[in-house]
Structure 1
Amino acid sequence: MTPLQRLALALYGLTTWLAQPLLRRKLRRRARQEAGYAQAVGERFGRYGSGGPAQPGALLWIHAVSLGETRAAALLLRELRALQPGLRLLLTHGTATGRAEGAKLLQPGDVQVWLPWDTPGAVRRFVQRFRPAIGILMETEIWPNLAACCRAEGVPLVLANARLNEKSRRGAQRLAWLSRPAYAGLRAVWAQTEADAQRLREVGARDVQVLGNVKFDVHPDPEQLARGHAWRAAAARPVVLLASSREGEEALWLDAVGRLADADRRSVQWLIVPRHPQRFDAVEQLLRAAGLGVARRSQWPQQGDAPPAGDVWLGDSMGEMALYYGLAQVALLGGSFERLGGQNLIEAAACGCPVVMGPHTFNFAQAAKLAAAAGAALPVADMAQAVAQALALAHDAPAWRQCVQQCQAFAGAHRGAARAMAQAALALLARP
């Protein structure tokens, strides 16, 4: 690290230290919507109770900032545990939904905490308290002080399932005095695509390999999928899903559906599953304000009978996307109709649910491109086109069956990244 880079890191560390009161205020505000943000707040600042330091090298650390990264981490962890039974895990997160999902992955002897705010003191206390044998950061989560501390403490740090879109590459290069040492300090980078690998090299990463996307290794919950299929068979109309919708997209959907002829609008059963649980109530209010009857998932039967009647079914549950994809004939891809980069379409394909995606898929650019080429996803320009395309496919049984087959073939053709990354991680652990 050059003197200028050391100075930049020191100034950055001072800035993050001064920003701690703002972080505490933000956490209090978020906790009013999601109680999980009030949990173990001290951990956010590197305070982990009275226990002594862990035995060096006893824990394999995986950081999965939010829900999507945690689900990807689960696929990697499944392979790691298969290859090395008895592995002890240190699992960290940044969001309440990520932590709640991560709790499902824990086994006796594992540890789950918040990753601290990126101040020099907090990350030093974190690393010295847990002394992980290796750190695996999922997808994009690089913090300058954390990277510098791991390097100083001899903890090899890896970026797994790594992706870097063009916008993020430009941002990293504008802040190269700070970001370049962080990327250069990574022991290895396992990229999803060659395009991601090239951008990561441009921002300073060194040992970069393309191992694929672990999200292709998803295996949908068979019970959820079977229940969804049963409910779809019992439904009076084809089901069209707006999956993992983000703020603003439900309004776009209301506008597009409102322009349809009444017979077309009522020819399908609409289902909306917001991405974030804190928005469930707001989305219901939006739909009711538009004059629509809403039946929330929390009011459906747990087993047996089909969902109750309603103009719109609202999926207000977490961890049931396989059920929703099994229930739907076709899904509109949330996050792709606003400039948000799109959500993960691989799980939909693995469930055999064709996807109609908007123009903004930069977070999953390669997967979106491959899915479109395979006929598993249909790209459109806007929400109005998406609604029209979904209706056409839902009412064309031969075309729909062909899309289902193409989804399953697409999902199956790209599996294996999770095993490759697990093997690479254990090989790195075995090095002296």
Structure 2
Amino acid sequence: MLHYLYSLFFRLALPFVLIRLWWQGRQSPEIWHHWQQRLGYVARSPEPVIWVHAVSVGETIAAAPLVKALLRRNPAVPILMTAMTVTGSERAKAMFGDQVHYAFSPYDTPGSVKRFVDRINPKALVIMETELWPNMIALTHSRNVPIFLINARLSSRSARGYSRVGSLVKPLLESISWVAAQADGDAQRFMKIGAKPETVSVTGSIKFDVEISRSLRDEAAVLRATLGGERRPIWIAASTHIGEDEQILSAHQKLLAGDPTTLLIIVPRHPDRFDDVAALVNSKGLSLARRSLGDGGSNAQVYLGDTMGELLMLYGVSDVAFVGGSLIERGGHNPLEPAAWGRPVLSGPHVFNFETIYAQLKAGNGLFITDTQEELAERVAALLNDLEMARAVGAWALAVVDANRGALEKVVSGITDRT
């Protein structure tokens, strides 16, 4: 009954969703592109595909090592990547070009999903993290297609929410062939809300298998030199949200009072906020250089990372890395990319989306939690003024990453063995 009510609600809401899509497209016309795909009207696949669903840019980046490994393991099987956001889709295309196929995932109405599944003919459905869309899962399962929930994480907060709609969630989890959980706590919570114990494994997080290529290291070194990094300390605030930028810039002003040469690289989480953050920097009276404009930035106080797909490289330019979405109750973002560079990692207190990973980094002495902008400024200053300590903390962060590598091979083998 709850599934029926869910589908009925989504059907009734669909016209308003499409109106909102049209309204958003007035400011960003690219949103209008491929709206038919959101209703399930995609090109028919001549052969079965492995369908990899990653809802937004964060999950798309997390899926990249998995997709690369699947392509290496069986290049004859085509892969279709879907996302629900324009930035997620664009990031996938930038990473893989014509190696894989792309589409926007359908809205979760029975008609849209059925049309989509009929056309793509999936061999398997791989869902990243915790995207439990009832009709996507139910209609794919009805075709006897194996479904894999990969890099699965479930915070205590989310588990409590799902438990309130247990009659809807339990059948979905019972339809999943394999839940590859990041940690034991995630596995226990998935089983508690309905996953069959025999379908749940703890594989670790594939995000630990992040690779930093030689070319990426060279690119970061060149940019650091361009920004004057040989003569000035540089810190980065990455994946920031509304409510954080103001705090970060205030912290940076305190740092400038101590060392006027200090540079902040700030990278907003969402591209539609690039101009807003630039305006905020200017309103603070801080000199600004923008990556998208090719500004040199050697004399700037703030360098705005307003391009797509370069965050991993930008981490390598910094001496200290703050990971956003954590000074506000957003739940934090992936801290493993700066850790893989051997950078000391800082965050705010709200990291429930990655609680296990943050706990591992904290236990390994590679992470500092700062509750306020004042604490953030003090901690960044301490690390920038003692680069020997900063390098030690960064080395400890990297050690945590290295100690937890190997999940990717487990996940790829698990998928291929069950497909």
Q: State TM-score, norm by structure 2.
A: 0.94
**Could you say if the C-alpha distance between residues 113 and 291 of structure 1 is closer, same or farther in structure 2, counting changes exceeding 3 Å?**
same
Say if 2:210 is the partner of 1:215. no
Other-structure match for 2:241: 246
Is the contact made by 1:225 and 1:351 (CA closer than 8 Å) also made in structure 2?
no
Q: Indicate the residue corresponding to 1:125 in structure 2.
A: 115
Number of matched pairs? 414
- How far did 1:23 drift? 1.2
Partners of 1:241 and 1:330 within 8 A in 2: yes
Per-residue deviation, residues 333-352 of structure 1 (Å, max 9, x unmatched): 11111001111000111112
Q: Kindly provide the CA deviation profile for residues 275-316 of structure 1, in whole angstroms up to 9, marking residues without a partner as x.
A: 111100000011111111111112336xxxx63421211111
Give the distance between the partners of 1:276 and 1:368, measured in 2 at CA.
22
1:156–1:186 CA contact under 8 A, matched in 2: yes
Q: Does residue 167 of structure 1 match 2:148?
A: no
- Partner residue of 1:256 out of 251, 254, 258: 251
3-state SS, counterpart of residue 376 of structure 2:
helix
Matches within 5 A, 1:127-166: 127-166=117-156
C-alpha distance after superposition, 1:145-192 (max 9, x if no partner) = 111111211111110000111111111111112222112211110000
- Written as runs of structure 1 = structure 2, the 5 A alignment for 1:24-423 is 24-48=18-42, 51=44, 54-55=46-47, 58-106=48-96, 110-206=100-196, 207-232=199-224, 234-235=228-229, 236-258=231-253, 260=254, 263-264=257-258, 266-300=260-294, 307-423=297-413
> AA paired with 1:426?
T
Per mean C-alpha deviation after superposition, the further-off stretch among 238-247 and 222-231 is: 222-231
Change (3 A) 1:215 1:148: same
- Corresponding position of 2:11: 17
Q: Provide the secondary structure at the position in 1 that maps to 2:107.
A: coil
Q: Secondary structure at the match of 2:64?
A: helix
Shift of 1:355: 1.1
Identical columns (%)? 35
Q: What is the alpha-carbon distance in structure 1 between the residues aligned to residue 76 and residue 212 of structure 2? A: 25
Query: Aligned equivalents of 2:222 and 2:95: distance in 1?
Result: 28
Name the SS of the counterpart of 2:176 in structure 1: coil
**Are the aligned partners of 1:300 and 1:308 in contact in 2 as well (CA < 8 Å)?**
no
Q: Alpha-carbon deviations, 1:41-95, whole Å to 9, x = none?
A: 011111225x4x644xx21111011111111111111221222232210111111
SS for the counterpart of 1:62 is strand
Aligned CA distance change for structure 1 residues 33 and 331 (closer, same or farther; 3 Å): farther
- Aligned equivalent of 1:4: none
Cα deviation 1:224-268 (Å, max 9, x = unaligned): 32232344354231001111111110111233344x376316251
CA distance in 2, matches of 1:411, 1:272: 24
Instruction: Give the letter for the 2:218 counterpart.
Output: A
What is the TM-score with the length of structure 1 in the denominator?
0.91
- Asked if the contact 1:46–1:116 (Cα under 8 Å) also holds between the matched residues in 2, the reply is yes
- Aligned-partner SS, 2:267: strand
- For residues 110 and 286 of structure 1, the distance between their equivalents in structure 2, rounded to whole angstroms, comes to 39
| Segment of structure 1 superposing worse, 325-334 or 260-269 | 260-269
Structure 1 gap segments, 5+ residues each = 1-6
Q: Is the Cα contact below 8 Å between 1:34 and 1:278 reproduced in 2?
A: no
Look up the equivalent residue of 2:21 and give its one-letter code: L
Where in structure 2 are there 5+ consecutive unaligned residues? none
Give the Cα separation in 1 of the matches to 2:148 and 2:201: 11
Inter-partner Cα distance in structure 1 for 2:138 and 2:91: 29
**Alpha-carbon distance between aligned partners in 1 of 2:211 and 2:417, rounded to the nearest angstrom:** 26
Are 1:221 and 1:322, in contact at CA under 8 Å, matched by a contact in 2?
no
SS at match of 1:19: helix
Supply the distance in 1 between the matched residues of 2:180 and 2:355 (Cα, whole angstroms).
17
Letter matched to residue 40 of structure 1: H
Residues 190, 210 of structure 1: 8 Å contact kept: yes
Cα distance between partner residues in 1 of 2:292 and 2:50? 37
> C-alpha separation between the residues in 2 aligned to 1:36 and 1:63?
20
